[in-house]
Amino acid sequence: MARKTPELNTSSMADISFLLLTFFLLTSSINTDLGINRLLPPPLIPTEIPPDIKIKKRNIFVVLINTYDQLLVRNRPGDIRTLRKEVKLFVKNELNDPNLSEKDESINIPHIGAYQVSKGIVSLQNDRGTSYKMYIQVQNELTAAFNELRDELSMEKFGAKYEDLKNVEYQKSIRTAIPLKISEAEPKDVGGKK
C-alpha cells in the first residue's frame, strides 16, 4: 500500500503575505512628484475681462529658454547663476534706472507704511524642446528672487524672514509690497542653435 505524503496547511500563508505587504507599504518611503507651488488666480467671468492692458516694455523682464537650454535674458545671453540677482535688481530698481521697472506711486500698506510697489513683471517663455530640468531651475531662480526680496523687506520691517512671520497680516503686507509677478507664455519654438 502506497503511503500518502503529508500536506502542509497553507491556509494562513495569505494572512502572512498580507501582513508583510502592509508592513513594507507602511515602512517604506514612496517618492512623490513635486510640482511648482503656485496659487493660480480664479478664472475671470467674461464680463470681468479687462480691456487690453498696455504694459511698458521697461516693466517686462523677458526670459527665454531655447531648445538647447540656453537663456536669453532681456534680449542678451543669460546665465542661470546670475538670473536671481538680475531679477532682484530689475524689481527693486533702487536708483530708478529708466531701463528697469517703474514703481507705483507710494501706497500706504498696513504695518509697512508708504511703499512704492514695482510694476515689473517677469515673463518666462520656453521652447517645446527645453528640458524639464532647465525649466525647473529657471522657475526656482525666479521664485527665489522674489522670496529673497520678501525676506529682505520682512527683516527690515519686522526683524524676521517672511516665512518665519507668525502674524498673517504681516505676511499679507509683505506680499502686497512685493507681489509674485511671473507670467508664463505658451511654449513654442523660440529657436537657438549651438
- Structural domain including 64 reads 58-184
Whether 67 is in a domain gets the answer: yes
- Domain count of the fold of the chain: 1
pLDDT above 90 for 104: no
Is the residue at 37 inside a domain? no
Residue 137 falls inside a structural domain = yes
Within-domain flag for 193: no
60-65 and 121-126: which strand pairing? Answer: parallel
Note the pLDDT of residue 14.
82
- The C-alpha R_g of the chain, in whole angstroms, comes to 27
Domain membership flag for residue 20: no
Inside any domain, residue 86: yes
User: Is residue 19, in this structure, part of any structural domain at all?
Assistant: no
* 7 part of a folded domain: no
19-49 residue pLDDT tens: 898 988 888 876 665 566 665 556 656 665 5
**Given a cut of 50, is residue 132 above it in pLDDT?**
yes
* Full 3-state SS string of the chain: CCCCCCCCCCCCHHHHHHHHHHHHHHHCCCCCCCCCCCCCCCCCCHHHCCCCCCCCHHHEEEEEECCCCCEEECCEEECHHHHHHHHHHHHHCCCCCCCCCCECCCEEECCCEEECCECCEEEEEEECCCCHHHHHHHHHHHHHHHHHHHHHHHHHHHCCCHHHCCCHHHHHHHHHHCCCCEEECCCECCCCCC
Question: Within 10 Å of residue 142's Cβ, how many Cβ atoms?
Answer: 21
Q: Please tell me the pTM assigned to this model.
A: 0.71
Residue-level pLDDT at 194: 43
